[in-house]
Amino acid sequence: MHVVWFKRDLRIEDHAPLGEAARRGVVVPLFIYEPGLWQGQDSDARHWAFARQCLEELDGRLRRLGAPLVVRSGDAAEVLRSLPVTALYAHEETGNGWTYERDRRVRKWARESGIPFTEFPANGVVRRLKTRDGWSRLWQERMRQPVTAAPARLEPHGLDEGALPPAKAAIEVQRGGERAAHALLESFLERRGERYHREMSSPLTAAESCSRLSPHLAWGTISARQVYQAVQRRRETAEGTWRQALAAFVARLHWRDHFIQKLEDEPRIEFENFVRAYDGLREEEFDAEKFERWKEGVTGFPFVDACMRMLRETGWINFRMRAMLVSFAAYDLWLHWRPVALHLARMFTDYEPGIHYSQCQMQSATTGINTVRIYNPDKQWRDQDPKSEFVRRWVPEFDDPKRYPPPLVRHDEAAKRARDRIYALRRRLEARAEAEQVRERHGSRKRPTRRRKG
């Protein structure tokens, strides 16, 4: 029995572990529902709702090939111990601290039981990377490797199939599954993506003009390689604004793995500041009332609140608005990034630990290597929603002083105070030395691009 352990790779196309197992003999496609993982502080029912749809479709596909998905619930090592395993195959996972520890336990079990456990790279992330020099080249190589075809058929395994626990999300999540992922990619490359680079920043246009592939990439219904190769084929015939749009899009696919690589190299950044010299900057001043108002979307800043409310209701918001939400929490409200990140992790259907914690730290200025970027919520409102259509939709009471609260803080004062405190710390030598180490270990080797202010 060649067990293929499906984790965040819920597809049959471009699935190297499945391809390899199918060449060896009888395949048991396995999914383990792990209660401990789903009880985590970063977990929400919306994640399971999405994953469950992906798993239902995956089961249908595997069933048609001849071997339905086997579902078990419990601790992964215990579940594997209970199955007739000859060899185990999986993708490398750069997940949160919980999955990191679980993978160690599974590897230990495999070692002690004498069961070969083969893990395949999941994307452009390199395990046990020695240096960031040359990483981009490695990434390109990975993206250009041929896609593994789905097996033509699988031998029946005859095991009891088990069942997926029900999903109870409070919102309607994006559609899961390989079919939905490919449909999104196609509509993006044929139609929706033409003005991607121009329309990604406003929450009015981004929902349609961005690819919306993020939960699919996070749950692996499509691989980064499949997306990359489809984009490169499309670029051959691209004209006009399509060229810039597709170049901007490929850059983001690259960023994806660039960020995930940081967590792969240093799992502690899920919990600790990149630069430890920033420890203590905000922790003792955490204001629970401000945090609640931020989470509820009642800060008195209509554009900030509209973004939070859209996110809560739909499970998605565009990049710039994510950055603004964190910037507002980190600078205006002076909240430590960790509770902020956990809340957003639960809200994002596409929660991807590697991107998420790096981004949250970057927008809170605890990485030490990035420019401190404090978003002005009212300027963003003017720039991205000049007719207030977005704000009216999500915060219809915004201009009624009886129903909508006054601003929690004064932005200009709060931003100045935050900037002063961060730069005072930055100037301290110890922080500078540590930041250099972060740059050496995680920094992009490209020259920085210039960014617009505000």
Question: Per CB under 6 A, does 213 bind ligand FAD?
Answer: yes
Return the residues of window 354-383 that contact ligand FAD according to CB under 6 A.
355-356, 359-360, 363
SS3 73: strand
The contact pattern for ligand FAD, residues 143-182, with x = CB under 6 A and - = no contact, is ----------------------------------------
Give Cα separations from 340 to 295, 327, 416 (angstroms): 9, 10, 21
Q: What is the largest CA-CA distance in the chain?
A: 69
Residue choice 33, 50, 259, 328 for contact with ligand FAD (CB under 6 A): 259
Residue (of 33, 26, 19) closest to 3 by Cα position: 26
Regarding 252 and contact with ligand FAD (CB under 6 A), the answer is: yes
Q: How many chain residues bind ligand FAD (CB under 6 A)?
A: 27
Cβ proximity to ligand FAD: between 45 and 83 the closer is 45
Closer CB to ligand FAD, 326 or 395, in the complex: 326
Distance CA 435, CA 162 (A): 50
Cβ nearer to ligand FAD, comparing 86 with 241: 241
3-state DSSP call for residue 174? Answer: coil
Among 52, 72, 132, 212, binds ligand FAD (CB under 6 A): 212
Q: In the bound complex, what is the minimum distance in angstroms from residue 260's beta carbon to ligand FAD? A: 8
Under rule CB under 6 A, residue 242 binds ligand FAD: no
The Cβ of residue 229 has, within 10 Å, a number of other Cβ atoms equal to 17
Of residues 115 and 207, the one with the C-beta less far from ligand FAD: 207
Residue selected from 13, 34, 352, 385 as contacting ligand FAD according to rule CB under 6 A: 352
Min dist. Cβ of residue 314 to ligand FAD (A)? 12
Task: Write out the DSSP string of 51-120.
Answer: HHHHHHHHHHHHHHHT-PPEEEES-HHHHHHTS--SEEEEE-----HHHHHHHHHHHHHHHHHT--EEEE
Select from 19-27, 162-170, 300-308, 350-358 the region that touches ligand FAD (CB under 6 A).
350-358
Query: Residues 366, 372, 376, 380: is their CA dihedral positive or negative?
Result: negative
Contact positions with ligand FAD (CB under 6 A) in 309-348: 318-319, 322-323, 326, 348
Does residue 214 touch ligand FAD according to CB under 6 A? yes
Sheet of 70-73: strand order equals: 70-73, 27-33, 2-6, 87-91, 117-120
| Interacting residue with ligand FAD among 46, 192, 197, 256 (CB under 6 A) | 256
Q: Could you tell me the smallest distance in angstroms from the CB atom of residue 103 to ligand FAD?
A: 20
Q: Does 200 bind ligand FAD (CB under 6 A)?
A: yes
In angstroms, the Cα distances linking 45 to 39, 173, 187, 441 are: 10, 10, 28, 35
d(CA 148, CA 142): 12
Q: Which is nearer to ligand FAD, 68 or 215 (CB)?
A: 215
Out of 70, 210, 304, 415, point to the residue binding ligand FAD (CB under 6 A).
Answer: 210
Region of 89-97, 119-127, 249-257, 382-390 interacting with ligand FAD (CB under 6 A): 249-257
Q: How far is the CB of 151 from ligand FAD (least distance, A)?
A: 27
Q: Which two tokens stand for residue 234?
A: 């499309």
CA nearest to 313, candidates 255, 393, 384: 393
Are the beta carbons of 264 and 127 closer than 8 angstroms? Answer: yes
Cα separation, 395 vs 388, whole angstroms: 10
Q: 5 or 337: whose CB is closer to ligand FAD?
A: 337
Task: Please report how close the Cβ of residue 170 comes to ligand FAD at its closest, in angstroms.
Answer: 19
Q: Which is nearer to ligand FAD, 110 or 181 (CB)?
A: 181
Residue 217 makes contact with ligand FAD by CB under 6 A = yes
The residue among 347, 326, 350, 349 whose CA lies nearest residue 338 is 326
Structure tokens at 38: 């789903």
Report yes or no: 294 and 388 within 8 Å, Cβ to Cβ: no
Q: Give the nearer residue to ligand FAD in terms of CB position, either 212 or 293.
A: 212
Give just the sign of the alpha carbon dihedral 101, 107, 111, 115: positive
> 290: buried, middle or exposed (CB in 10 Å: 19+, 13-18, 0-12)?
middle
Q: Which positions touch ligand FAD (CB under 6 A)?
A: 200, 210-214, 217-218, 252-253, 255-256, 259, 318-319, 322-323, 326, 348, 350-352, 355-356, 359-360, 363
